Amino acid sequence: MDFKSWQHVFKLDPAKEITDGHLERICKSGTDAILIGGSDNVTLDNVLHLAERVQRYQLPMVLEVSTIDSVAPGFDYYFIPTVLNSDNPLWVKGLHHQAIREYGEFLDWDELIPEGYCILNAECKAAKLTDAQTDLTAEDVLAYARLAEHFFRLPIFYMEYSGIFGNMELVEKVKGVLTKTHLFYGGGIDSADTAKKAFAFADTIVVGNIIYENIDKAIETVEAVAETAG
């Protein structure tokens, strides 16, 4: 199992309700993996509850860590965001330092995958939480991508537009400067059309909110990627 081969993932928010029927459709959709994560009201209880339900299906399950207190055992990978365009060091390396200080001796480092986030929607919760500097030129974003790949050697660069569909020209430019680092794109994918547009440039597309708004449209995004990938 290698996350670099994933083309489509669903991101389930532990703070949101999902019926068994909808969860079954998501997990049997043909998506490559389930990412569990959110930016607020994530608790150990709601993570454990959702993970237990997802575990019935045989597909890779990842926890995207947003608080130290909500880390639960049993995931295939733990994705650890570092927000490259936050000016508050807490979100770049501060919480990470605290977590490693506390648990460093017991960590299985092969399960931890750092993600270099570049948050591009000023209105999303994650941008507000992390004081992300979203007023960026294309050159700024390309520099963050290069910083992720060549300086920090991060395996993932994540263009995060959570809640809105992003600038695909910029996604194309970022893809053009990355060679080893894998490009995740997330934000506003709500149809086959938006899935295809984002997947034209990103290595992996992440589909979140539409799961809770229109389950049929969410499932369409998997089919769209499969068609495009051939």
Ligand X SMILES: CC(C)=CCC/C(C)=C/CC/C(C)=C/CC/C(C)=C/CC/C(C)=C/CC/C(C)=C/CC/C(C)=C/COP(=O)(O)OP(=O)(O)O
Name the residues that contact ligand 1GP, by CB under 6 A.
11, 160, 162-163, 186-189, 206-210
In the complex with ligand 1GP, the residue whose CB is nearer, 60 or 109, is 60
Query: 3-state DSSP call for residue 80?
Result: strand
Query: Which residue, 63, 120, 114, is CA-closest to 93?
Result: 114
Residue 206 binding target from Mg ion, ligand X, ligand 1GP, none, CB below 5 to 8 Å by type: ligand 1GP
According to CB under 6 A, which one of 48, 99, 136, 147 is a site residue for ligand X? 99
- Binding piece for ligand X, criterion CB under 6 A, among 2-10, 98-106, 172-180, 190-198: 98-106
91 is a site residue for ligand X (CB under 6 A)? yes
Q: Does 48 bind ligand X (CB under 6 A)?
A: no
Minimum distance between the CB of residue 65 and ligand 1GP, rounded to whole angstroms? 13
Q: How far is the CB of 126 from Mg ion (least distance, A)?
A: 9
- The alpha carbon of residue 10 and the mean position of all alpha carbons in its chain are separated, in whole angstroms, by 9
Rounded-to-integer distance, Cα 206 and Cα 195, Å: 9
In the complex with ligand X, the residue whose CB is nearer, 100 or 177, is 100
Cα separation of 39 and 123, whole Å?
A: 13
Q: Kindly state the tokens that stand for 103.
A: 């648990």
Provide the H-helix boundaries in the chain.
Answer: 20-27, 44-54, 89, 95-103, 125-130, 138-146, 168-177, 192-199, 210-213, 215-229
* Residue (160 or 203) nearer to ligand 1GP, CB: 160
Residue from the set 54, 65, 202, 219 that interacts with ligand X by CB under 6 A: 65
Of 213, 205, 203, nearest in space to 161 by CA: 205
Closer CB to ligand X, residue 63 or residue 170? 63
* Residue 78 binding partner per list ligand 1GP, ligand X, Mg ion, none, with a CB distance cut-off of 5 to 8 Å that depends on partner kind: ligand X
Region label for 10, one of left (φ > 0), alpha (ψ between -120 and 50) or beta (otherwise): beta
SS3 186: strand
Residues that bind Mg ion (CB under 5 A): 208-209
Residues 87, 130 contacting (CB under 8 angstroms): no
Tell me which of 68, 122, 138, 200 binds ligand X, using CB under 6 A.
68
Question: What residues line the site for ligand X (CB under 6 A)?
Answer: 13, 37-40, 64-68, 71, 78, 80-81, 83, 91, 95-96, 99-100, 103, 106, 112, 117, 124-126, 129-130, 160, 162-163, 208-209
